[in-house]
Amino acid sequence: FSPAADRPPILGHCLRIGGTTFYLNAGIPELDIRRHGRWKSDAMLVYLRRLYVSAGRVFAHVDTTNG
């Protein structure tokens, strides 16, 4: 484990991104996340898209030939 000085700082924006992604992945309704995160624009939808793209990449490699 390296000392904190060796790592980049964790900024509020990182927590917003991580929190939004976590709650979307947990199935929390988009409207609830939007209210809690005080999202006034559709910017949070960028994180939603990234979540689906990441999941798509994972599932693209799943072998479905055996049912």
Asked if residue 5 has pLDDT above 70, the reply is: no
pLDDT computed for residue 3 by the predictor:
56
Domain boundaries, the chain: 10-59
Instruction: For the chain, list the strands marked E by DSSP.
Output: none
> Taking the C-alpha atoms of 37, 32, 25 and 66 in order, what is their torsion angle to the nearest 10 degrees?
-160
pLDDT confidence of residue 51: 64
Q: Residue 4: what pLDDT? A: 63
Please check whether residue 44 is in contact with residue 18, taking contact to mean a CB–CB distance below 8 angstroms: no
Model confidence pLDDT, tens digit, residues 19-60 = 888 888 888 898 898 888 888 888 777 766 666 666 667 677
C-alpha 27/C-alpha 61 separation (Å) is 23
Q: Stretch 4-30: mean pLDDT, rounded?
A: 77
